[in-house]
Structure 1
């Protein structure tokens, strides 16, 4: 492994990928690298290479010799993973998500009322994106998160803990155990008042083939949905609005139709997935040839969705913000912001709904929104999964 390729790579521009991705993609799309913990890995930066790794069952999220990642139970492989997705899928349906649209819009309007009545400059993260995301995911699950400060503290601590970092396993385990204890309290309260919501459906989920979720599975799934639903949406909204402001596109979005808003949202997540989060590591379970490179069983493989989504072989002028590119191109060329293959994001429909409503509502209510300060002054939270700005100061 090349010791000079130590992750993470430098990112001179906050909303642009590290220049090293383009350089590697052009000459060595499957390259050696070293993780932040000092572990050797293969780094995959081409669209075709990333697609292959995420779709090939010989690349798994569990390392050879292990039965589980020790984290979220959806991070398994094969039949155990498929079983959980079948059970969750029964509750996480398109109908259920679409039925949330009026509620998400109401919550966005309420949060906008609070934002516009606050002092300026405000913080896009703590004054809009985070409380909206917490409210939406709480409504989906059917739980009351009255202690939003406590919820954010636990969720943020868990997301920032890095199992792969030097000495990080103990800290990460403590953070996730604390968060799991809080989620267990929510589940216990929900058992007493089952309703027409996702958590009730998960509690009652099961069939003759799959069986019901045990307490550990239920707690871990609910924890995963809560954490990812809050973190991913918060970061996507904050980063998306920042991009629209810098592109000078926020004001025009307010008068756009639904299809145009959807197109803008898709282009934002295509370009900004690397700022929001990346796919979990994979491990090769057999000797595999990938793009002419021999990968041995047991090797760690890191795909970069951000690099794949800017592959010029698939996306003409990939760094240009073009909301119409996905309709102009062949349907088979889709961005991979929500992953690909058996571990593609279960919450993609909810994320699309929430991000789209948040962007359009902000554009309609505050078309003259602008950053308060320089974009290079924004501080970023870095974690093993989700990444986002600590704060985005705004004025209008």
Structure 2
């Protein structure tokens, strides 16, 4: 996978992602206040990037977005029992669409990631099977669509309430990257980790004995706000000289799409800073309505004015 999804390949997407972000912000600016950053910038940017990444045709984008919306809304952890059938149906529909997309790309490859994944070969494992390609397509949607949308939205809230958005307009790449890293570190507190882990060895944590093989549930929020690694962990301090946050996992489980996620968030926030430096929230933060999802939480709408 890393052969086709490495940082170098994603770096080539930077001009296009920045162009898309600037275009969505320009449309918002041209329409005049007020605006909803979730509906008009964060969501369309996220789904368009994924669509182009996978090679979804323009005439198929609305259908693809509808399937992605339905699948992303599914909550298999805390959802009501009567909702489970609908959730399973939504994922089946997305999987069916992915199967058709894989078949189409096998017949007519393009310059997209999915075509690259079809072509890439591992010396030990050969080519990816259709089942693996379909699973990867749905994983890209599930891991990248909702999380990027929410990270852009929450990042905007953070920067606006801190009065720091305008600084991105003149920030160099290192400063912009540091701001995005801090946004994502603090965003981790709104991201659930309902997936089980297992202890590899006996240990004691905060006075609690844990035996090798025990099932544990861990929070990235705890790691990313550990005062031993992040002094004043609840303060928003871009450019921290500290350990990298565990926003995208670690080691073998580090997120393949991390460079793309950082790129999307940075492009959206920087475009807002350049084109709408006077941007401000229309409503107090405690009036914002939030989604309630087991895996990722974000504002339902983010109304702004300028």
Q: Is 1:227 matched up with 2:159?
A: no
Residue in structure 2 matched with residue 106 of structure 1 by the alignment: 19
Query: TM-score scaled by structure 2?
Result: 0.91
Greater alpha carbon shift after TM alignment, 147-156 vs 249-258? 147-156
Deviation, structure 1 residue 97: 0.6
Residue in structure 2 matched with residue 17 of structure 1 by the alignment: none
Deviation, structure 1 residue 90: 1.1
Q: Is 1:265 matched up with 2:180?
A: yes
1:160 to 65, 73, 77: 73
Residue in structure 1 matched with residue 210 of structure 2 by the alignment: 295
Contact 1:159 1:385 in 2 (8 A): no
Query: Secondary structure in 2 aligned to 1:380?
Result: coil
Rate the CA distance shift 1:99–1:211 in 2: closer, same or farther, 3 A. same
Greater alpha carbon shift after TM alignment, 155-164 vs 367-376? 155-164
Contact 1:123 1:392 in 2 (8 A): yes
Deviation, structure 1 residue 113: 2.3
Residue in structure 2 matched with residue 346 of structure 1 by the alignment: 256
Residue in structure 2 matched with residue 186 of structure 1 by the alignment: 101
Residue in structure 1 matched with residue 40 of structure 2 by the alignment: 127
1:144 to 57, 63, 71: 57
Residue in structure 1 matched with residue 117 of structure 2 by the alignment: 202
2:161 to 246, 251, 258: 246
Rate the CA distance shift 1:284–1:256 in 2: closer, same or farther, 3 A. closer
Q: Is 1:361 matched up with 2:276?
A: no
Query: Secondary structure in 2 aligned to 1:294?
Result: strand
Residue in structure 1 matched with residue 284 of structure 2 by the alignment: 374
Contact 1:288 1:295 in 2 (8 A): yes
Encode CA deviations 1:340-368: one digit per residue, 9 max, x unaligned.
23212111111111211111111000001
Distance 1:393 1:148 in 2: 25
Distance 1:345 1:280 in 2: 17
Instruction: Extract unaligned runs of 5+ from structure 1.
Output: 1-87
Distance 1:116 1:143 in 2: 28
Rate the CA distance shift 1:220–1:266 in 2: closer, same or farther, 3 A. same
Encode CA deviations 1:28-63: one digit per residue, 9 max, x unaligned.
xxxxxxxxxxxxxxxxxxxxxxxxxxxxxxxxxxxx
Query: Secondary structure in 2 aligned to 1:117?
Result: helix
Distance 2:276 2:60 in 1: 28
Rate the CA distance shift 1:246–1:285 in 2: closer, same or farther, 3 A. closer
Greater alpha carbon shift after TM alignment, 244-253 vs 188-197? 188-197
Rate the CA distance shift 1:141–1:147 in 2: closer, same or farther, 3 A. closer
Deviation, structure 1 residue 186: 2.5
Q: How many residues align?
A: 303
Contact 1:284 1:296 in 2 (8 A): no
Q: CA RMSD in A?
A: 2.1
Contact 1:231 1:386 in 2 (8 A): yes
Deviation, structure 1 residue 228: 2.0
Query: Secondary structure in 1 aligned to 2:3?
Result: helix
Contact 2:291 2:297 in 1 (8 A): yes
Contact 2:51 2:61 in 1 (8 A): no
Contact 2:94 2:138 in 1 (8 A): yes
Distance 2:229 2:200 in 1: 28
Structure 1 or 2: more helix by fraction = 2
Residue in structure 1 matched with residue 304 of structure 2 by the alignment: 394
Distance 1:177 1:391 in 2: 28
Contact 2:160 2:281 in 1 (8 A): yes
Rate the CA distance shift 1:384–1:94 in 2: closer, same or farther, 3 A. same
